[in-house]
A = this chain, B = another copy of it.
Amino acid sequence: MATNQEHVNLLGATGSPFVCRVQIALKLKGIEYEFVEENLATKSEQLLKYNPVHKKVPVFVHNEKPISESLVILEYIDEVWKQNPILPSDPHQRALARFWSKFIDDKIVSTSFKSVFSLDEKEREKNIEEATEALHFLENELKDKYFGGEEFNFVDIAAVFVAFWVPLVQDITELQLFTAEKFPKLYNWSQEFLDHPVVKETLPPREPLFAFFKGRYESLLAASK
């Protein structure tokens, strides 16, 4: 195990949901790593070298070998460090975990951000509708305490975006997208998940992040006038 843990770096940015996914997995598995905070306004030489394609965080660097894309990194971590598995062992269950994680990225991430940050009324309404439909699918998929059952797994980690970031950005405009009334099971799950010691320790502090997004929203508004 020690050799695997020798050179583990994570190029990230505090406040990124995709970076947070990787941090949750590393914490769950007890892997020590060095966090390299990237300033995304002035991308570092290292970031451009390790992720020349997307030039984005997270980049996970294990013994000098870089990997990008948060879900790809999660799979890698689960394959290399076997303790506390995050993907189920059954192939069909693994397929479902991959399906729902991809679903969150494809159908919830962009629509829920645009539900707040679209200044065009019609586009915002369309995104709210699509995000709501997607959250309903996710609500129906939740059968136990976590998506993973009694313990959280790959899908729960991917869905940290829903538990933490969606409530954060919707508060900027007092949007009622993801509420306990509309999504009782998913809301309960989010409370349980955010309260899990591993997750709690890993989440970025809420207030500065809220201020950051609110600032971004206000400059958008100002620029549109």
Contacts and interface: CB of A to CB of B under 8 A. Distances in A.
Interface of A: 53, 62, 65, 67-69, 72-73, 75-76, 79-80, 91-92, 94-96, 98-99, 102-103, 137
A155 to B, nearest CB: 13
Contacts of A75: 94-95, 98
A158 to B, nearest CB: 13
Among A53, A65, A68, A94, the most chain B Cβ lie within 10 Å of the Cβ of A53
A72 B73 CA distance: 16
A15 to B, nearest CB: 23
Contacts of A62: 92
B69 A102 contact: yes
Contacts of A72: 95, 98-99, 102
A65 B96 CA distance: 10
Contacts of A67: 92, 95-96, 99
A76 B92 contact: yes
A102 B71 CA distance: 10
A91 B79 contact: yes
Nearest to A67: B95
27 contacts: A53-B103, A53-B137, A62-B92, A65-B92, A67-B92, A67-B95, A67-B96, A67-B99, A68-B99, A69-B98, A69-B99, A69-B102, A72-B95, A72-B98, A72-B99, A72-B102, A73-B95, A75-B94, A75-B95, A75-B98, A76-B91, A76-B92, A76-B94, A76-B95, A79-B91, A79-B94, A80-B91
A65 B62 CA distance: 36
Nearest to A94: B79
A75 B99 CA distance: 11
A75 B96 CA distance: 11
Contacts of A98: 69, 72, 75
A73 B91 CA distance: 10
